[in-house]
Amino acid sequence: MSALIEYKCPNCGGAVEFNSAGQNLKCPYCDTEFDINALNEYNNDRMNDTGDDLNWNVSGIEWTEDEHQGMKVYTCQSCGGQVVADETTSASFCPYCDSPVIMTGQFEGGLKPDLIIPFAIDKKAAEDALRRHLNGKFLLPKSFSSENRIEEIKGIYVPFWLFDCDAEAHIRYKASKSVSWTSGNYIYTRTSHYLVTRDGEISFDKVPADGSTKMPDVLSQSVEPYYYNGCKEFTPAYIAGYLADKYDVESEQCAPTVNARIHKSTENEFRRTVNGYSSVIQESANIRLKRGQALYALMPVWVLSTNYRGQIYRFAMNGQTGKFVGDLPADPKRTGLLFAGVAAAVTALSFALMSFFAGGIL
């Protein structure tokens, strides 16, 4: 049975035809001409595009019987979170939602962390960071600094999955170069189109993903980054006097988000190598992840809660770097004054422009 072979124009998607005059292929719709070998390579690339089939290899071992000794679990009755601590740690409130917590007994189950970044900043530094965070905030109510009181400061190790892998990529771009010149009363532009491909491999080390549903992602992500040269091999001694959240998000659940992040970073890095063209459009990206490894790690976070006029405000500070984040209340009167000032400035500028142009016309 005979079959009709049809080539599609990479530029507009139309069916290209053989151009006997130029001994090449030409699109009758956009008049773009293609070298036959280049278009064959383009079609072969499209045929060979495949997706990811990586299964992440999760590191980690179970806790030993000796390591269970002295480890207790605090269970929050509101959010259901399980927070691990040594038996000397007193925990009367959940570090996430400020609800009372109950010590339910000996810790059991789950993987033991591979790595930990120990706290490098103490509790007093977290209190001082909150005070500095309040300075210079124009919209903050004047009474907030004097009336708010710190309800709770908890040092907690937040569970993270750290993903290592290599990305092998074949990325194809549509590029063009345009040259313009003037002849007589006419301006001519010649545009040449190119098929640009990039092949290579790039390695990723410790791409983080929050392993806790209790720690709001906006807080856990905002206090990043951590410096992994401070990672230590985990031992229970590091969490003495602190809390350690037990992961409730499996590494497999994080994998789609991490894969997408790695794909995007790979595309960005490869795109930086395509230079010297008037325009560049990525047409396809065939990225395969290999040698995937997921490590279980604990990251240090100070969680602070303050009470102001019956409402709880929460803040977080990176226990390694001191980066501090958190929401603050806004004074309605000051907010109104700010918007009024902006509106007045915009109105004044509008009148000035109108007067300027009116004067120019006259």
Q: How far apart are CA 362 and CA 59, in angstroms?
A: 77
Percent above pLDDT 90 for the chain: 30
Question: What pLDDT does residue 46 have?
Answer: 64
* Mean pLDDT confidence for 161-166: 95
Rounded to whole angstroms, the Cα distance separating 149 from 146 reads 8
pLDDT digits (tens, 9 = 90+) for 128-146: 887 787 776 554 656 555 5
- Whether the CB-CB separation of 318 and 226 falls below 8 Å is answered with yes
pLDDT band for position 50 (cuts 50, 70, 90)? low
For the chain, give the mean pLDDT. Answer: 77
Alpha helix locations (H) across the chain? Answer: 36-48, 65-68, 123-134, 144-147, 217-222, 251-271, 332-361
What average pLDDT score do residues 96-125 get?
75
What pTM value is reported for the model?
0.68
Q: List, for residues 193-202, the tens digit of each pLDDT value.
A: 898 999 999 9
- How confident is the model at residue 106, as a pLDDT? 53
pLDDT at 151: 63
Lowest mean pLDDT, pick from 2-11, 210-219, 337-346 = 337-346
β partners of residue 166: 203, 290
Higher-confidence residue of 334 and 266: namely: 266
Cα distances (angstroms) measured from residue 300 to each of 133, 156, 159, 358: 19, 6, 9, 62
Could you read off the pLDDT of 259-314 as tens digits, one per residue? 999 999 999 999 999 999 999 999 999 999 998 999 999 999 998 777 767 777 78
Distance in angstroms (rounded) separating the CA atoms of residues 197 and 350 = 50
Q: Do 16 and 8 touch, CB atoms closer than 8 A?
A: yes
Burial (CB < 10 A; 0-12, 13-18, 19+), residue 298, is buried
Residue 320 CA, distance from chain mean position: 20
> Which pLDDT score, from 0 to 100, does residue 177 have?
93
Q: Is the pLDDT of residue 91 over 50?
A: yes
For the ranges 221-230, 309-318, 346-355, the lowest mean pLDDT is seen at: 346-355
> Could you give the dihedral angle defined by the CA atoms of residues 263, 167, 58 and 228, in that order, rounded to the nearest 10 degrees?
-80
**pLDDT score for 52:** 59
Q: Who contacts 227 (Cβ-Cβ below 8 Å, separation ≥6)?
A: 117, 320, 321
Cβ-proximal residues to 232 (8 Å cutoff; 6+ apart), any chain: 115, 116, 117, 118, 238
Q: What is the pLDDT of residue 342?
A: 45
- pLDDT of 3: 40
Amino acid identity of residue 83, one-letter, is: V
